[in-house]
Amino acid sequence: MQRKISEKTLYIFEATLEYFISILVAGSFLATLTQELGFSDSLTGILSSVISLGCLFQLISIFILKQRVKGFVITLSIINQLLFTFLYVIPLFDLSRSIKTVIFILSIFTAYLLYNIAHPQKINFLMSLVEDDQRGRFTANKEIFSLATGIVFSYGMGWVIDAFKDRGDIRLSFIISAAAIFLLMLLHTLTLLPIREREITAARSYNLWETIKKILKNKTVFKITLVFILYYIANYASVPFYGVYCINELGFSLKTVTLITVFGSISRIAVSKYWGRYADKNSFAKMIERCFVFLGASFLAMVFAVPANGLIMYTLYMVLHSVALGGVNSALINLIYDYVDVADRANSLATTQAFAGLTGFLTALAISPLVTFIQKSNSIFGITVYAQQAVSLFSLIISAVLIIYIRKVVLKIRRS
């Protein structure tokens, strides 16, 4: 019993260290990197959405026929985290901007490719440590620990980068960031090594297309997949473009952005246990319906965010969005666990996230020209509008559609 508790604790540490790394390669941290490399706002938005495109490669996990995948997961985690480390080294090279751009894009793309190949197997491997009737509360505790420690980490790293940027020595801050990711990679590996792997019987197939068809013919899986897809559309139509909006149009320093993120993290911590208890008592479907209300409200705040009120409205967005994410992230995965048989869970999760991820990336790609077009004049039909306000309105509409879909379709599905 003691070993089981210890392994759950290691799982929490693993998720926390992975979260720290994700902080440094997303949002305003990524925007600071791309700004140094001379990338446009639209290109930065597209790169931010590579996280979504990476989900497409979760389909490759269907071909992993081993019942034991621990070694595979650890190996791919090390490689993708080394590539994340390399992102902060690229600006230091004495190369042309075009070559740096190509290297950066290839590196971040490959990192997320490897991460997502291993992700469904890693989740299946680690979630086997948790009893079904405790998944909501355990996920909440895991997120609370990650967020609480992430507050200190993100603010500290933001302070470091801003300090060296103000001194005109931003490259030294990139070296420190690269060293930080490398250290986190070592610690992350050490948390996975002691965890004992359980053998999990899972449905496998050598034929990718046949496997996808089999899964999507399952009406329940198809209905859940639409939840993922709509959520990814809502998020990736606007969120990837917020990082550069904060740094450029709203004029925030990285310290200011991370301080606002702290408020968001505190909000997420405050609701995580509530969402977990609510899901265990009712269902993850009922929980996510309520989460999407907060998601829509967060996009509504960004519809009205302009330089004059940016600090207030972006803080409001971050708080509301964080309250939503306090339940959404765990609910999406657990919808699969609630409605899909054990043997099909890993493949269903891979397929669902792959389609949703591809949709998210294509959404950001399609929205990017609109962002560029509006930025040229900051107006639509003669009305002063920033690009991020326009895309936020679109995200708000999709959030409303999601709420209706959950209520009319998903809540009527019979749980597995």
The structure's pTM equals 0.73
β partners of residue 384: 379
Q: Which of 363, 359, 368, 367 is nearest to 43 (CA)?
A: 368
Residue 293 sits at the vertex; the CA angle it makes with 291 and 296, to the nearest 5 degrees, is 110
Burial code (b: 16+ CB inside 10 Å, e: under 16) for 213-252 equals ebbeebebbebbbbbbbbbbbbbbbbbbbbbbbbbebbeb
H or E element in which residue 384 lies: strand 383-384
The whole-angstrom separation of Cα 217 and Cα 215 is: 5
Beta bridge partners of 68: none
Tens place of pLDDT for every residue, the chain, 416 residues? 444 457 888 899 999 999 999 999 987 788 888 888 888 777 877 787 776 666 666 666 666 655 677 888 899 999 999 999 999 999 998 888 889 999 999 999 899 888 888 877 787 788 777 776 777 778 778 888 988 898 889 888 988 888 888 888 888 999 999 999 999 999 999 999 888 877 655 555 556 667 667 766 778 888 888 999 999 999 999 998 888 888 888 888 878 888 898 888 889 888 888 888 888 888 888 999 999 999 999 999 999 999 999 999 999 999 999 999 988 877 888 888 777 776 667 677 777 877 888 888 889 889 988 888 887 777 666 677 888 999 999 999 999 999 999 999 988 877 66
